[in-house]
Amino acid sequence: MGAFYYHDELPGTFTDEHNSGKPVSLEQLEKIGVFYRHFETVEEVDVVAKERNYKNRDEIVLSEATFPGGPEALQAKLEVFYKEHLHEDEEIRYILDGEGYFDVRDDNDRWIRAKLTKGDLLILPAGIYHRFTLSNSKYVRALRLFKDEPKWVALDRGTDQAESSFSRTEYLRSVSVN
Ligand code: KMT
Ligand code: NI
């Protein structure tokens, strides 16, 4: 089951839990356009994907044992995923096995951490700043669902491309009318 809380913002290894002890409700997440569901089967994921017109998906495995290039290459990949960024399209993540943390910015620019394990599904709206990391168990297998062509492009916070992107403008508009 998903667990949602404010990140403690303390220094240290980013794969640590960083639980501040301040919980976050699903209503709070919805206000910033983030949706959580728990599904036992991929068939249930398929229903959501169909409803929302998703056309593509892939499966990603992040583990020290199987990552091409080994543990160092995995660590480098994790650092990329942990850089604060946005995407131009909404996207769905569904955890098939293992666990991971998605951090999303709330409306006061504070980090909310979503700890996801097997069966958890998260919908991230286009234009929200976020980042991802494995936990200390260093293993996840997940489905990544894309509306159209897989868009791997991550626009890093602080760059003009991110700040002035259509998705960012639209995202800020959508949360301000909530
Ligand atoms: C993202 O959008 O940052 C990711 O897809 C991270 C990896 S998915 C387990
Ligand atoms: Ni991302």
Q: Give residue-wise pLDDT tens across range 23-51.
A: 999 999 999 999 999 999 999 999 999 99
Instruction: Select from 38, 20, 33 the least CA-distant residue to 111.
Output: 20
Ligand nearest to the CA of 86: 2
What distance in Å separates the CA atoms of residue 127 and residue 17, rounded to the nearest whole number?
A: 25
Give the distance (Å) from ligand 1 centre to CA of residue 13. 19
Mean pLDDT of 19-26: 98
**Per-residue model confidence (pLDDT) at position 81:** 95
**Which residues have CB under 8 Å from 168's CB, separation 6+?**
86, 127, 162
Atom of ligand 1 nearest to the CA of 87: 2
**Residue 72, annotated ligand binder?**
no
Cα torsion angle, 48, 135, 106, 172, sign: negative
**Per-residue model confidence (pLDDT) at position 150:** 72
**Per-residue model confidence (pLDDT) at position 178:** 61
Give the distance (Å) from ligand 1 centre to CA of residue 78. 10
Give the distance (Å) from ligand 1 centre to CA of residue 11. 22
Q: Give residue-wise pLDDT tens across range 108-132.
A: 999 999 999 999 999 999 999 999 9
Mean per-residue pLDDT of the chain: 95
**Residue 18, annotated ligand binder?**
no
Atom of ligand 1 nearest to the CA of 130: 3
**Per-residue model confidence (pLDDT) at position 50:** 96
**Per-residue model confidence (pLDDT) at position 61:** 97
> What count of Cα atoms within 13 Å lies in the side-chain half-sphere of residue 118?
5
**Which residues have CB under 8 Å from 47's CB, separation 6+?**
none
Under the banding of pLDDT at 50, 70 and 90, the label for residue 161 is very high
**Per-residue model confidence (pLDDT) at position 93:** 97
Domains and CATH numbers, the chain: 3-173 (2.60.120.10)
DSSP type of residue 10:
-
**Per-residue model confidence (pLDDT) at position 18:** 98
Q: What is the ipTM of this complex?
A: 0.93
- Find the residues whose C-beta lies inside 6 A of ligand 1: 60, 81, 93, 100, 132, 140, 142, 144
Name the residue of 15, 56, 60 to mutate for ligand 1: max ligand atoms within 8 A of Cβ: 60
What distance in Å separates the CA atoms of residue 20 and residue 35, rounded to the nearest whole number?
A: 21
Residues of the chain with pLDDT > 70, as a percent, come to 98
What distance in Å separates the CA atoms of residue 176 and residue 120, rounded to the nearest whole number?
A: 27
Give the distance (Å) from ligand 2 centre to CA of residue 147. 14
Mean pLDDT of 67-95: 95
* Residue entry with tokens 């699903």: 26
Give the distance (Å) from ligand 1 centre to CA of residue 132. 6
**Per-residue model confidence (pLDDT) at position 176:** 86
